[in-house]
Amino acid sequence: MSKKALCIGINDYPGTQNDLAGCVNDANDWAAELAGRGYAVSKMLDAQATHAAMSRAIADLIKGAVSGDSLVITYSGHGTWVPDSSGDEPDGRDEGLCPWDIGQAGPLLDDQIRQLFATRAGGVRILLLSDSCHSGSVTRGSEDDLDPGHPRARFMPPEAWMPADELPTASARPLHLVGGLRRSGGDLLLSGCLDTQFSWDTSFKGRPNGAFTYYALKALHDSKPATYEAWFKALRAYLPSTKLPQDPQILGTAAARRFKVFA
């Protein structure tokens, strides 16, 4: 059994006026954590994370895996959406991740990610950690580590990157990336918030991070949970909070939630 990970972090979105601050730190933090747990880690940061390069890296990660292997993909950056052209989306929209060159290449859509995930061999487990998008309002959780100021949503509206004559008329909708994950077996999604919310890009103790990434790692180190279910429970002690109104989510079977963390 081998363990491999791909960690993607994009702060720089040329030409969009929607740069972020904490995504590269997120990717580096996840990479360090996973390497310390025996994963062979690849990173893609800013200009490395073009549409073509992201597609190729995900495809290579999955193509090389065999039964019993564990794969982790982390993504920190903007999410966006486009009108659904294939008719497979009930809400009429395809959600997508925003590569560094989104202005030229467009988003990496959920349909494309679904096709990439579908190529995996049987018995390959995938954990997706998504710190992108979404807004809501709840009051709870500790904010002792949070720096003063206003966090920024990790959602890029289509008008920030799409030509004006191609803009859809529907209102913006955040990303919730679940396409391609199997509803049975060992697949898990840990995401920063509900699909009606935003994940926030902010700063802790003078260092930019995504709120989900920062508190997920804090919960992992402080609580030392044995299972993903226990990890998620520990994370919920921090989010949502007054200034960070986002509800982290865990999606996967009951059996998968009881797997040992990063085993």
Q: What is the pLDDT of residues 125-180, one digit of tens each?
A: 999 999 986 322 222 344 556 555 557 667 776 667 667 666 665 544 444 555 55
Per-residue pLDDT of 85-110, as tens digits, reads 554 444 446 778 999 999 999 999 88
Give the pairing type, strands 3-9 and 40-45. parallel
Closest Cα partner for 151 from 97, 108, 192, 120?
A: 192
Q: Which fold has domain 3-257?
A: Rossmann fold (3.40.50)
- pTM for this entry: 0.85
User: For the segment 51-81, what is each residue's pLDDT rounded down to a tens digit?
Assistant: 999 999 999 999 999 999 999 999 999 988 7
Catalytic residues: 78, 133
List, edge to edge, every strand of the sheet that includes 249-251.
40-45, 3-9, 70-76, 125-131, 188-191, 249-251
Domain assignments of the chain as residue spans, ordered by start: 3-257
